[in-house]
Amino acid sequence: ADEPLVLGIETSCDETGIGIVRGTTLLADAVASSVDEHARYGGVVPEVASRAHLEAMVPTVHRALKDAGVAMSDIDAIAVTSGPGLAGALLVGVAAAKGYAMALDKPVYGVNHLAAHVCVDQLEHGRLPEPCMALLVSGGHSSLLLVPDVTSDVRPLGATIDDAAGEAFDKVARVLGLGFPGGPLIDRRAREGDPDAIAFPRGLSGPRDAAYDFSFSGLKTAVARWVEARGRDGKPVPVADVAASFQEAVVDVLTRKAIRACRENDVDHLLVGGGVAANSRLRAMAAERCAAAGITLRVPRPGLCTDNGAMVAALGAEMVRRDRAPSTLGIPADSSMPV
């Protein structure tokens, strides 16, 4: 019980997340999402997200404290996502964190959103093995990260050169008329489809292509063209087969590159995180391919993969444990913060 009680604040996109942890023990994970307000636009609207964060902040903090059974005065440190993300959305979380830290006279840690997606797994599977490889796939990012130290040394090996994986899921779902956010809807429809029905392109998988970068915009366009051609021919679109074949193309490239990155960097633990890590096919294929390659796979449960405050609190607790210097009250809201 000597471990620090840390409150984490996440507002980089459309989720107002407040998490409370003690060390690696999760005590509360309250999330207020504005996703329904964005659904009719087919994507996240920054202005709408910022306003929703403002409205949700204080009630969500109170809900987290109640869930954890602690008082605000018990909190030892505050952690907040400093970037990357939507500038206006980040600003709301950073301002709240500074306010709470000042009022409580406690240290505040500005943390990187991607590092927090990695660190969250500690809450489920215990201390992170380091170095490990992390494949982070969400609506905003698709990155391969080598992680020698999650609090201070996270090295990007590759990233998407166009759309993020989740963005591709969302756009293809729109083409198929499935709704937003598209990832879970495609995942569900794909279960009744044949993943080998249509041979969609695997972006950047040639021998001379950047080894650890991803590209999903060509795939998205290929799906849209295929669906349009069916329409012109007056044939019905086999939604389940398109969903399954598209999903297979994404998951194939992600897992292949992640495992190659492990091998080429002598790392034997792979962590998969971010909203797309909730994908059932990605979890299954990663498990199969890791087992074949002798790599230990760690994937947090879906609720911890999507944006939440617990991941920020988890990284904040780790910063305290490793005696990292707290931030000053000048923490930036840095929309393009590098890892």
Binding site for Zn ion (CB under 5 A): 138, 307
Contacts of 274 (CB under 8 A, 6+ apart): 117, 136, 137, 138, 141, 142, 166, 305, 306
169 binds, among ligand KG4, Zn ion, none (CB under 5 to 8 A by kind): ligand KG4
84 upstream amide cis, omega within 30 of 0: yes
Query: Beta strand 5-10 with 77-83: parallel, antiparallel or unpaired?
Result: parallel
d(CA 204, CA 215): 6
Q: Select the residue interacting with ligand KG4 from 61, 92, 122, 169 (CB under 6 A).
A: 169
Which residue's CB is nearer to ligand KG4, number 22 or number 307?
A: 307
Q: Is 93 in the site for ligand KG4 (CB under 6 A)?
A: no
Taking the complex as a whole, how short is the minimal distance between the CB of residue 92 and ligand KG4, in angstroms? 16
Q: Is 307 in the site for ligand KG4 (CB under 6 A)?
A: yes
Judge whether 86 is annotated as a binding position. no
Which residue's CB is nearer to ligand KG4, number 5 or number 251?
A: 251
Which residue's CB is nearer to ligand KG4, number 93 or number 166?
A: 166
Judge whether 170 is annotated as a binding position. yes
Which tokens sit at 4? 């620090």
Q: Is 279 in the site for ligand KG4 (CB under 6 A)?
A: yes
183 binds, among Zn ion, ligand KG4, none (CB under 5 to 8 A by kind): ligand KG4
Q: Is 187 in the site for ligand KG4 (CB under 6 A)?
A: yes
Contacts of 335 (CB under 8 A, 6+ apart): 83, 84, 85, 86, 87, 90
d(CA 80, CA 93): 7
d(CA 318, CA 124): 14
Q: Is 13 in the site for ligand KG4 (CB under 6 A)?
A: yes
Q: Which of 66, 37, 61, 63 is nearest to 50 (CA)?
A: 37
Taking the complex as a whole, how short is the minimal distance between the CB of residue 315 and ligand KG4, in angstroms? 15
**Segment near ligand KG4 (CB under 6 A), from 47-55, 60-68, 146-154, 273-281?**
273-281
What is the Rg, in whole angstroms, of the alpha carbon atoms belonging to the chain? 20
Taking the CA atoms of 16, 22, 23 and 29 in sequence, report the sign of the dihedral they define: negative
201 binds, among Zn ion, ligand KG4, none (CB under 5 to 8 A by kind): none
Q: Is 248 in the site for ligand KG4 (CB under 6 A)?
A: no
81 binds, among ligand KG4, Zn ion, none (CB under 5 to 8 A by kind): none
Query: Tokens 């964060």 identify what position?
Result: 53
Which residue's CB is nearer to ligand KG4, number 107 or number 181?
A: 181
Based on the number of CB atoms within 10 Å of its own CB, is 137 exposed (0-12), middle (13-18) or buried (19 or more)? buried
* Binding stretches for ligand KG4 (CB under 6 A): 13, 138-140, 166, 169-170, 181-184, 187, 274-276, 278-279, 306-307
Which residues are documented as binding site for substrate? 136-140, 170, 183, 187, 279
